[in-house]
């Protein structure tokens, strides 16, 4: 059998919070991953411009993963400049890992339901498995209605009911992982900060200290 799979969690991490960290931890355990790479996006193609600059978002991600030997921050998208596509990132990671290494792209349910809008999304199945984590507000029983037809077809064809099947092939499967419901979002954290309220216990203390010291999210945006 090939080495244990590596998980990749992309995001704006604006800021990183316990929803991201717990997702990585639980999926790493359930899927027996060798490591999880957090990949902060540079200029995300699918969504509004981030509020904190790339250097701040990466610094917060580094603070958040410190002390967990499974977790690292991969800053390749920040260095790239211009639009950062997950397809390009995974192409690079695949070239480094070699053709046989299982890779797992980790997504919350909201991100997965939007997946068919991603650049070269079908080809991503040739580069990695996809692990979808439940997220409050995106209930599994309503995914059918929310999923565009082309994605629903891939989902039907690729769904694997045994999560550890991600060890058996380098890419191409979809697993859905029940995950502790954490109704935490970066949007809500930014709104709390802007309103002068504390987001403490929604994200690691060192990240909160960083937000305060750099005066992030409190301005007019
Ligand atoms: P924003 O509120 O700014 O949209 P976010 O909290 O959704 O941000 P992202 O950086 O966009 O954070 O998320 C990165 C990945 O983590 C996405 O795949 C997203 O679905 C997932 N994710 C974030 N928060 C949660 C959560 N609370 N539960 C499950 N998945 C989550």
- Which of 44-58, 68-82, 129-143, 170-184 is predicted least confidently? 44-58
The 10s digit of each residue's pLDDT in 186-200 is 999 999 999 999 999
Q: Please say if the pLDDT value at position 77 is more than 90.
A: yes
Distance 143 CA to ligand 1 centre (A): 17
Q: Please say if the pLDDT value at position 214 is more than 60.
A: yes
Local confidence band at 1 (pLDDT 50, 70, 90 cut-offs): low
Listed by start position, the domains of the chain span 6-184
pLDDT for the residue numbered 44 = 57
Q: Please say if the pLDDT value at position 220 is more than 70.
A: no
Report the SS3 class of residue 7.
strand
Could you tell me if 140 and 174 are in contact, meaning their C-beta atoms sit under 8 angstroms apart? no
212: left (phi over 0), alpha (psi -120 to 50) or beta: alpha
Indicate whether residue 77 lines ligand 1 (CB < 6 A).
Answer: no
DSSP 1: -
pLDDT for the residue numbered 221 = 41
pLDDT for the residue numbered 144 = 83
**Architecture of the CATH domain 6-184:** 3-Layer(aba) Sandwich (3.40)
Q: Please say if the pLDDT value at position 2 is more than 90.
A: no
Q: Please say if the pLDDT value at position 83 is more than 80.
A: no
Indicate whether residue 133 lines ligand 1 (CB < 6 A).
Answer: yes
How large is the average pLDDT for residues 80-86? Answer: 80
Mutating to test ligand 1, I would choose from 10, 26, 36, 110 the residue with most ligand atoms within 8 A of its C-beta, which is 110
The residue contributing the CA closest to ligand 1 atom 28 is 135
Local confidence band at 114 (pLDDT 50, 70, 90 cut-offs): very high
Burial 53-73 (b: 16+ CB within 10 A, else e): ebebbbbbbbbbbeeeebbbb
pLDDT for the residue numbered 187 = 97
- Which of 97-101, 140-144, 167-171 is predicted least confidently? 140-144
Whether the model clears a pTM of 0.85, i.e. scores above it, the answer is yes
Q: Please say if the pLDDT value at position 172 is more than 80.
A: yes
The alpha-helical segments, DSSP class H, found in 84-214 are: 86-97, 109-113, 121-124, 143-146, 149-158, 186-194, 205-213
The residue contributing the CA closest to ligand 1 atom 13 is 11
Could you tell me if 38 and 72 are in contact, meaning their C-beta atoms sit under 8 angstroms apart? yes
- Which of 12-16, 39-43, 149-153, 180-184 is predicted least confidently? 39-43
Indicate whether residue 187 lines ligand 1 (CB < 6 A).
Answer: yes
Mean per-residue pLDDT of the chain: 93
């Amino acid at each position: 059998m090939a080495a244990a799979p590596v998980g990749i969690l992309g995001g704006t991490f604006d800021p990183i919070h316990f929803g991201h960290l717990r997702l990585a931890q639980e999926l790493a355990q359930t899927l027996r991953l060798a490591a999880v790479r957090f990949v902060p996006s540079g200029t995300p193609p699918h969504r509004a411009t981030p509020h904190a600059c790339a250097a701040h978002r990466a610094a917060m991600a580094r603070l958040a993963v410190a002390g967990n030997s499974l977790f690292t921050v991969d800053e390749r998208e920040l260095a790239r400049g211009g639009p950062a596509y997950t397809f390009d990132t995974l192409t690079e990671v695949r070239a480094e890992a070699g053709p046989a290494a299982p890779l797992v792209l980790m997504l919350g349910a909201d991100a997965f339901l939007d997946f068919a809008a991603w650049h070269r999304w079908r080809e991503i199945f040739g580069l990695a498995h996809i692990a979808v984590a439940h997220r409050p507000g995106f209930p599994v029983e309503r995914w059918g209605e929310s999923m565009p037809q082309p994605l629903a077809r891939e989902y039907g064809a690729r769904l694997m009911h045994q999560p550890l099947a991600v060890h058996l092939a380098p890419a191409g499967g979809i697993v859905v992982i029940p995950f502790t419901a954490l109704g935490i979002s970066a949007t809500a954290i930014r709104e709390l900060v802007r309103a002068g309220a504390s987001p403490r216990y929604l994200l690691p203390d060192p990240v909160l200290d960083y937000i305060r010291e750099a005066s992030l999210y409190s301005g007019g945006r």
